[in-house]
Structure 1
C-alpha cells in the first residue's frame, strides 16, 4: 500500500468528508473514493459508513485508522532523521568566520548567535530555535530550563585601593564604586556605576 493512500484515509477521517479530503489532497472526489475502496479491498472490510453529516469510521475502521496513523507518524519521523538539524541559540560575539567553521563542523547542529537572551527566548517561543544557551532571565511560560553552571562575580582591585584595608566588603561599599563588569566568556568589558 502506498503512503499517499494512508494520507488519503487520514484526511477523510479528519475532515469527515470525501469532498473536503479530495480538495485538501488535490485530487478528485471519485479518485479519493477509489483509493479508499482499494484500502477496503486490501484489508477485507468496510472502513467508512455514510451519514447525513458526512462519513464516519466503522469499528474496524477505527482500529485501522489508529494503526495507520501511527505508521504514518513513524514514517514521517524516519524521513526527518536525515534532514533534521538542532537549532541552538547562543549568547555570543564569535567572529563570523569562527561561527561559520563551527557550523560547518557539525551538519546536525546550527548555532545562531545573539547579544540578547530575551531575543533568543522569543525565537524559542516562536519555534524558530530548538534550544537556547544564555544568561538566566525571567522565563516565559511553557519553557523548560535547566541551570548548567553558575559563575560567581569576583572583584579585583589594586593594592592601593581602599577595599584593601577593609575586613569585609558589602553591597553598599560596591554601590559607591566604578567598576568593570566582565561578562562570560570574559572577552568584553562594560564600565558600570552601581
Structure 2
C-alpha cells in the first residue's frame, strides 16, 4: 500500500513535469500506477488537483496552492536526508570530548590531529574538567565521549583502556641528597609533599594505595594542574607526585629527579569512557577507532 508521503512525491513530480507518462519515467513507475496515485490523493482530499487534457495535465487552482506547500516540504525532507548522509559520511558534524587539561596536552593532541586530517569538516568541542566533572557532563549528554584517568567504578559507563601510566615522586636540586637510597612510604610522607587537589582521580588513586598500607598523606600543597606540580617541585617547594609519562621533558633535561621507592605505586590507566546505553555517533566511533588502532600499532 502506497504511503501518504509517496502520494505527495508522485503529486509533486506530476506537477513539475505536467505529464503522467514523464512522471512515471522519473519515478520508475508505470503510468497507470501514477494515475492511480493521483486519483487516490484527489479522493483523500476530496479535491480535483489536475486538469486532464490530451496534451497532458496542469494543476488546478487548488492543486497549485497545495503544490507550493508540498514541494517545499518534500525539498526540506530531501535536504534533511542529505544532512543525515553527510553525518554518516563524516562530511559534517561535531565531535564533543570531555577531557582534563593534562591528558589533553600530553595524550590527546596527536589523535585530534589525525582525526582532523581525515575528517576536516567535523568540528571539535573540547570540555575540560576533572574526571569527576567530565563523568557528570558525559551523563548529562553534553559530551559524546570522555578521556580520563581510570579506574572509574560506575556501571553506566563503557571503559576502554588506552595507555598505562606510572605515578612517581619527583624533586628539585635541594632534595637531591635523598636520591641516594630507596624510600619507604613511611619516610616519604615525612617530606613536604605536593599533590593534585583531593577531587582529582589520579590523586585519589595514589592516596588510596598509600592508605591501604596504613599510611595517610598530608600534602603541604594541593594544586589544580599537573604542570604546576612540576613547577613547584622545580623551585624546591617539596616532593611532587606526578605522572611519569607526562613529566619526561623535566626528567630528561635534569630539571627534576625521580625518587626511588622501596615499593612503586602500581600502574594505572588512561582510557576512553562513554555511556553504555547510548550509541556512539559516527564521529565518536571513528575517533575511538583511531585511538585503538594507534595504540595497537604501538603495542600497547
Q: Normalized against structure 2, the TM-score is what?
A: 0.31
Higher relative contact order (CA 8 A, sep 6+): 2
Bigger proportion of residues as helix: 2
